[in-house]
Every structure is written in structure tokens, then in C-alpha cells.
Chain A
Amino acid sequence: MEYYVAGSNLFNQWFDDLDFFSEFRKMSKSEDPNFDFRLANLMQINWSYNIFQLRKNLYLLGAFDGRKIAKKIDIPEECRKSPLVAGNDYNLVIGHNNSSALWILNLEDNSIKNVYLDRELPLELSPKRNKTDNEIQKLVVNNFSCLYLTKGKNVYSGILPSYIDTSHCNGHIIDVACGYEHYMLLTSTGYVYTWGDGRRLQLGQDDTSNLETPTQVEALAGIKIIKIKAGGWHSMALSEFGDLYVWGLNDTGQLGIKESENDLKSYALPKLVDLYDDNEEVHLQIKDIACGSKHSVLLLEDGSVWTTGANKYGQLACPQYPNSKNFNKVCVIKEACRLKCGPWTTVVVCN
């Protein structure tokens, strides 16, 4: 695994003295002789630390307690086969593929709490839930929200998980995403559902209302979506044909829409994004998408990486812009296979 990193290094989470990288920097060995980036699997990028998995251990790199650390955490025996992990400023949540159990590790006092998805709620509260199959498939966590998706296609939210009714959704749920105060679901049939806070138009439902339950983004009806991502207050969806739709807050240009570069208008409905390289429209397929709190990143089939939005901490990998108001091609990394963002960080992952 190779990692190209741009953006925040404020807490030395990438083992370097620079506070941030304004251009992509290839990570290789670290100062810690036991830790080689190339062998480790990057699980999540947070504000003050990164989570890697290396063999049977998790490594937290950075400074969740303010000091420079490379903290090793043993993965609970039960989760070693295929651990799932996500964290925020306070907790680390560990789960694994074949169980409904979650280990919640408090980063301040190192206490561990066990939570079971199917034991926390009286069943009569959620009659439609698939009771037999609550093995966790994916978990996403930030400071304000968390979502768990199970193999039985059930969705739960909250540190003490509560069941989300998705029985009205078309197809079964295959992916989940959370912004700072909104949530997204993607189904096997390519439908996108959003709920949560809509004041910054992040739900894509054409208004600023809040929604209690997952509601279909009707403007995307008829378009099969295969990937979803949530930024702080914006959202992205990628179609099966490689078209990108964005909506929500655009105050730092995080939507990357060329027409609105002068007024930085926010969008209440999904908007198709066109890419331009030196004013020439680009028609390549988009391979992967990712967003930080106020920036967005694309990886195209030719290995080119495109960024837009906030650049205060170098997260656009392009030192000449303060912020960028539309997507710009910043480099080509031929062997790039996927993207991963932290709040103020962009990482290109190569196998």
C-alpha cells in the first residue's frame, strides 16, 4: 500500500515536522521502526489522529491527547479476522464482520464498553427489523453522528445504537455516510436517501427542512448511483456512468461548480458537475470520490486527481490557491486506486 498525502499534519500524524503538506507527499517509512506505512491499512483520518491497522493491532498516529503518539491498541480477539474501526475526538469504535458486538474505547480514560446492536432496543419498537442478521458490515463515526450498516441491511445510528427504519427504501442498503449533521443511504438499486439537518441544503430535497426519516432524493430518480459521500455540510453522489452530482453548502467552493464560482451559491438540489482542464471539457470516467469537511476530491480513470474547496491546510494538494471554487486537476498518480479524506486531509491510496 502506498499513500500520497496532502493537508493537515498539525499533530505530526504523518511523522513529519511540517504542519501541513501543500502538495502530495508519498509516505514510506515512519520514525517508529515497528511501523511501516506501506504495510499498514489506513482505516480513518480524523482531526488530530489517523487510524491504521497493521496485523493484529490498531495504531493511532497523531495526538488525540495532545502529545505526539504512535499508540498501539490490541484488536479484541473476536474482531481480529476482519476488524471494522472508526473513531472521533473522544471514542474509538471497533467492530467486526461476523458479529453484532461493538467495542467502544474511550480515548481519554481508555475504558472499554461493549454494545450489541440487537440487544439495546426492545424489539417491539422496531418490528420491521431483520432480527436474525445484525452482523456489522460498515461503520462510520464522527463527533456528532455515527451509522452502522449490517449484513442484514439494517441501519443503526448513535453511539448507543438505535434502529433506523429503512423498510420503505427501494432495494437493500449497501452504503451509509454521515456529514456533520446529515446522513445518507445508498441502496442496491442505486437510490439515494437523506435525512437529518437540512438548513444548509445538504439533504438535496430542494429546501432547508430537517427530516426525521430517510427520504429519497427525488431529483436523482432514474439515475443509478453507485457511490455516495458526505462532507461537513455537502453531499456527493457518483452515477454508474461516472457522472458526479453534488449539493449542499458551497461557501468555500466545495461543490466545485464552475457556473457558481463568482457567487459561491449553495445548491438545494443535486447538480451535475462538469470538469474542465484548461477550459476544455473533460469526458473521462470518475473512479472514486471523497470529501473533507469543506473540500472535495475526485479520482479519474486516467489517475488524475481533482480537488476543490477549502485549502487553508493544504488539503487541495495545490499550493497556488487559497480556496478553489471549481475542480482543478492537481496531479496524475497512475497507480492510484482510491481516495480517502479527513476533515482537512486528502489521501490517494495505491495498492
Chain B
Amino acid sequence: MSDVLDLCRKFELFLPNVELSLSEVIELDGCTKSLLNHFIKNPNTLNQRTLIKIQAIIDYMHEKINIGNWKDVKLYLRKTITISSYLKLLIYWKDPNNPMDDLLKESYKIIDFGLVFGCPIENELQLLQKCAGLLNPYSSDYVSEISTNTIKLKHNEVNVEPNKCNTVPVDVMDCPSMESFYTNRILKEKPVVLINCMNNWPALTKWNDQNYFLKMAGLRTVAVELGSKYTDSDWTQKLMTVEEFIKDHIYQSNGPKGYLAQYQLFDQIPELKADIIEPEYCCFAETENPIDVMAWYGPKGTVSPLHHDPKKNLLSQVVGEKQIYLFPPSDSKYLYPHDHELLSNTAKVDPREPNYEIYPEYRHAKAYYCKLKPGQMLFIPPKWWHFVESLSISFSVSFWWD
């Protein structure tokens, strides 16, 4: 009980900064603005009775942010979602009758919704992440661990020796100097496997134990891709907790394959960012754009079909192994890209078992191949085609920059 009140007081400490942020949502309609103003200045009026009004603001803003293109959505609408999610969180913690486990589960749902649809407010940039951080010391008691036996069994599953015929191994460099990487790889746009460049990542040891993720993030909601690959018609995305993902998709595989792919996990859970180190090589940038850091976490057999991306990529392997086929941009004509506009950066050929009858030109393509092991990074130059398959339970982190 005292934990609940204690946490509630800690959450309330953000109120002054949240009040300052009201100036960031000045474009809101008068009704919503004065409601927010009233609740922030009179936090004692936040109770079960007013919860529905806060929820209505969240729902109404959610309707509004669905109008138009996502990238054009006005920030004040998303900031209002952040602020209202925070107020909703306060209401739950103000009620001393709420049991701790319900509170934690509900709170993470509120926070993760706010993180997905909201955006940072200037006066308290990490408001919802900080709230989650305050909850974390309590949450591990409510997530059950996976037995070490299950973990051993799964991680020791035999890898099929991949088909490497007609491929050229990707060059390997042992912790090259900055100049050497810049001149020989970035400028020449050539892929390379980098070894001994991430030896000091805490993730290399910490992330081997999947129970670590359960402890750090078990109750957090993430968007998981379901289906063997994104070009399949039954491919879909589903929101689930990290606990559900690990237990139902990493350590069990009855249903469709689950893949936490291209996911901004480190913005959502900044504590995990402390386990990784942004490679210095990413400083060779042509723009001021921030580096996109994405998580790729899944069981054995996840596949990213042959595709290319517009940015430079350092794919850093933390847990398990992945095999990657690479093709230079000049090979596009041999790879049979999809016709549809949305899939034009994706090719139809499967380089593991190419069908020469349907794709006869493929025989002219020159495939580069590598098997990426924990602690190794692969530099993928922009526009280079790549096909990625996990050979075991795998966690990779990609750094995209331009």
C-alpha cells in the first residue's frame, strides 16, 4: 500500500513541468485545453469519476491523429495524448484500493499507448519513459521466469548448414581505423563484416539470458510481426507484451512465426539502450538526421526477404546467428523486384533456393554471403540488396544513418 502512495507522489513530481507544457498545445480546442488545465492545476480532482473525461480526450485525439498522413499529424495532438496518458496514469495510482499487479499491468499499457501515439513534450522530454522507469523495480515480481532447461534446449537447436554455393564471402575487417572504414567502405559503398568492434557492449553478456528481458520489460507492449515473411498475404502485426512474445514465440512455435522486427525498442525502454554502444563509424553522416536504432528479436527461422534500404546500415549481432546474402545495386535487374509501388524495394528471388526457371536472369547475379556471429557487425551500404535469416534465437540491433 505504501509503495502505491510513494510511487503516486513520485509521479506527481512531474506535474509542474507538465503544466508548463500546456503552452505547447495552445492550438487545441478550448474545451480540451481548459479540461487539461483544470486537471493539471487541481490534481485532487483526478479520480475515477474524471477518468472517463481523460479517456475521452485520448480517444478523440486518437481519432484526430488518424486523419491524414502520419508524418503530417500536428504535434500538439500527439502531445495531448502524452499529457492525457500521464494524467490517466495518475488516476490509477491515486486509488489506494488498486492491487499492485493490476496497477503495474494497466500502467504499462497506458504508458506504451502514450509512447506509440504520443510524442515528447519539451518540458519533460522523457515523461512516460521516466514513469515506466519508476515502475520497473516492482514489475519483475509479477513476471515468471523461463526455466534454464527450456532455454538450453532452444539455444542448442542445430543449425542447418546453409547453402553457400556460388557465393563470395563478405570481406572481414578486424576493428578498422576510422579512416580506413571511411575510405574503403563508406566511400566505395562496399559491405564488410567488422569483428572486435562491439566487445565492450554489456548486451553481449546480459542479453544471452532471455529472462533479463522478462525482468526489464516483461509487461511492456510491443508490436510483433506475425507470419513467415512480410511479403506473405497472411502476414500481420499484433500488439502483445514482451512476456507473451518471449513465452509464445521465442520459446514456443506452434502458431505463426513471431518477429519483433525493425522496432524502436530503445526509445520505448531507455534502460535497454544502456546495454548497447552506438558505433563510432556512424559519425560519417551527410545529414543532421538522428540515427535510427532498431531492435530485431526473434526465434530461429525469421526471414527478411531480399530487399534494400535507403540508408547506411550497421547490423550488429548480439545474440545467436544470422545468415545474410548481399547483392550490389547494379544487380537489381537480375533479382526481379515486386511490381507494386509499396514493395518495389523487395525482390521475388529467394537466394537460398533460387528458382532459375521462373527467374532465369538470377544466374548473372553475384551473391555475397556471411554468417554473422554474436559480437560481429555487418556494414550494408545504402541500396545494397540483402536477405536475412536467423539460424537460432537471435537478437540484432541495426543502426541506420544517412
Q: Which A residues have a C-beta under 8 Å from some C-beta of B?
A: 8, 10-11, 19-20, 47-49, 62-67, 89-90, 107-108, 143-144, 180-181, 197, 232-233, 293-294, 312-313, 343
- B52 engages A90 (CB within 8 Å): no
Contacts of A180 in B (CB 8 A): 63, 66-67
- A89 engages B29 (CB within 8 Å): yes
5 interchain pairs, CB-CB under 8 A: A66-B30, A107-B30, A108-B30, A143-B64, A181-B68
- A181 engages B30 (CB within 8 Å): no
- A144 engages B34 (CB within 8 Å): no
Instruction: Take A180-B63, A181-B67, A197-B68 as given contacts and tell me if A89 and B56 are in contact as well, using a CB distance cutoff of 8 Å.
Output: no
Report the Cα distance A197→B68, complex, angstroms.
8
- A11 engages B31 (CB within 8 Å): yes
Chain A CB within 10 Å — which of B30, B37, B67, B68 has the most? B30
- A19 engages B52 (CB within 8 Å): yes
- A232 engages B63 (CB within 8 Å): yes
Q: How far is the CB of B245 from chain A (nearest CB, A)?
A: 23
Kindly report which residue of chain B lies nearest to residue A293, judged by CB atoms.
B63
Instruction: Take A144-B67, A343-B63 as given contacts and tell me if A313 and B56 are in contact as well, using a CB distance cutoff of 8 Å.
Output: yes
Cβ contact of B38, chosen from A62, A66, A233, cutoff 8 A: A66
- A65 engages B31 (CB within 8 Å): yes
Report the Cα distance A197→B72, complex, angstroms.
14
- B52 engages A64 (CB within 8 Å): no
User: Would you call B60 an interface residue if the criterion is a C-beta within 8 Å of the partner chain's C-beta atoms?
Assistant: yes
Instruction: Take A10-B53, A180-B63 as given contacts and tell me if A63 and B31 are in contact as well, using a CB distance cutoff of 8 Å.
Output: yes
Interface of B, secondary structure class, is helix
Q: How far is the CB of B23 from chain A (nearest CB, A)?
A: 15
Contacts of B53 in A (CB 8 A): 10, 19
Closest 7 CB pairs of A and B: A66-B34, A89-B29, A48-B31, A65-B30, A180-B67, A19-B52, A66-B35
User: Would you call B59 an interface residue if the criterion is a C-beta within 8 Å of the partner chain's C-beta atoms?
Assistant: yes
Contacts of B33 in A (CB 8 A): 66
- A312 engages B34 (CB within 8 Å): no
Cβ contact of B60, chosen from A47, A65, A144, cutoff 8 A: A47
Interface residues on B, range: 10 to 19
Contacts of A66 in B (CB 8 A): 30-35, 37-38
Report the Cα distance A11→B29, complex, angstroms.
14
Q: How far is the CB of A182 from chain B (nearest CB, A)?
A: 10
Report the Cα distance A180→B64, complex, angstroms.
8
Report the Cα distance A89→B32, complex, angstroms.
9
Contacts of A48 in B (CB 8 A): 29, 31-32
* 19 additional contacts (CB under 8 A) given A10-B53, A66-B34: A10-B56, A47-B60, A48-B29, A48-B32, A49-B31, A63-B31, A64-B30, A65-B34, A66-B32, A66-B35, A67-B34, A90-B29, A90-B30, A143-B64, A180-B67, A181-B68, A197-B68, A232-B63, A293-B63
Contacts of B38 in A (CB 8 A): 66
Contacts of B52 in A (CB 8 A): 10, 19-20
Q: How far is the CB of B29 from chain A (nearest CB, A)?
A: 3
Chain A CB within 10 Å — which of B34, B35, B56, B59 has the most? B56
Report the Cα distance A89→B68, complex, angstroms.
18
Contacts of A143 in B (CB 8 A): 64
Cβ contact of A64, chosen from B29, B37, B64, B67, cutoff 8 A: B29
- B56 engages A8 (CB within 8 Å): yes
Contacts of B66 in A (CB 8 A): 180, 233
B199-231 contacts to A (CB < 8 Å): none
Q: How far is the CB of B196 from chain A (nearest CB, A)?
A: 47
Q: How far is the CB of A221 from chain B (nearest CB, A)?
A: 28
Kindly report which residue of chain B lies nearest to residue A251, judged by CB atoms.
B66
Contacts of B32 in A (CB 8 A): 48, 66, 89
Kindly report which residue of chain B lies nearest to residue A249, judged by CB atoms.
B66
Contacts of A89 in B (CB 8 A): 29-32
Report the Cα distance A49→B32, complex, angstroms.
12
Report the Cα distance A80→B52, complex, angstroms.
38
Report the Cα distance A205→B384, complex, angstroms.
37
Q: How far is the CB of A108 from chain B (nearest CB, A)?
A: 5
Report the Cα distance A74→B53, complex, angstroms.
30
Q: How far is the CB of A265 from chain B (nearest CB, A)?
A: 13
Report the Cα distance A32→B52, complex, angstroms.
25
Report the Cα distance A10→B60, complex, angstroms.
12
Kindly report which residue of chain B lies nearest to residue A312, judged by CB atoms.
B59
Contacts of A107 in B (CB 8 A): 30
Kindly report which residue of chain A lies nearest to residue B38, judged by CB atoms.
A66
Kindly report which residue of chain A lies nearest to residue B35, judged by CB atoms.
A66
Kindly report which residue of chain B lies nearest to residue A108, judged by CB atoms.
B30
B115-143 contacts to A (CB < 8 Å): none
Contacts of B63 in A (CB 8 A): 180, 232, 293-294, 343
Chain A CB within 10 Å — which of B38, B63, B64 has the most? B63
Report the Cα distance A63→B38, complex, angstroms.
13
Report the Cα distance A165→B329, complex, angstroms.
46
Contacts of B59 in A (CB 8 A): 312
Mask: chain B, 19-34; 1 = CB below 8 Å from A; 0 = not: 0000000000111111
Q: How far is the CB of B67 from chain A (nearest CB, A)?
A: 5
Contacts of A312 in B (CB 8 A): 59
Chain A CB within 10 Å — which of B33, B37, B53, B66 has the most? B66
Report the Cα distance A62→B29, complex, angstroms.
14
Report the Cα distance A8→B63, complex, angstroms.
15
Kindly report which residue of chain A lies nearest to residue B63, judged by CB atoms.
A293
Mask: chain B, 33-68; 1 = CB below 8 Å from A; 0 = not: 111011000000000000011001001100110111
Contacts of A62 in B (CB 8 A): 31
Kindly report which residue of chain A lies nearest to residue B67, judged by CB atoms.
A180
Report the Cα distance A189→B330, complex, angstroms.
57
Contacts of A233 in B (CB 8 A): 66
Contacts of B60 in A (CB 8 A): 47, 343
Q: How far is the CB of B42 from chain A (nearest CB, A)?
A: 12
Contacts of A20 in B (CB 8 A): 52
Contacts of B31 in A (CB 8 A): 11, 47-49, 62-66, 89
Report the Cα distance A143→B37, complex, angstroms.
22
Q: How far is the CB of B123 from chain A (nearest CB, A)?
A: 22
Contacts of A47 in B (CB 8 A): 31, 60
Contacts of B64 in A (CB 8 A): 143
Q: How far is the CB of A152 from chain B (nearest CB, A)?
A: 31
Report the Cα distance A20→B64, complex, angstroms.
21
Report the Cα distance A19→B33, complex, angstroms.
19
Q: How far is the CB of B339 from chain A (nearest CB, A)?
A: 15
Report the Cα distance A180→B56, complex, angstroms.
18
Report the Cα distance A108→B28, complex, angstroms.
11
Chain B CB within 10 Å — which of A19, A49, A143 has the most? A19
Contacts of B37 in A (CB 8 A): 66
Contacts of B35 in A (CB 8 A): 66
Contacts of A144 in B (CB 8 A): 67-68
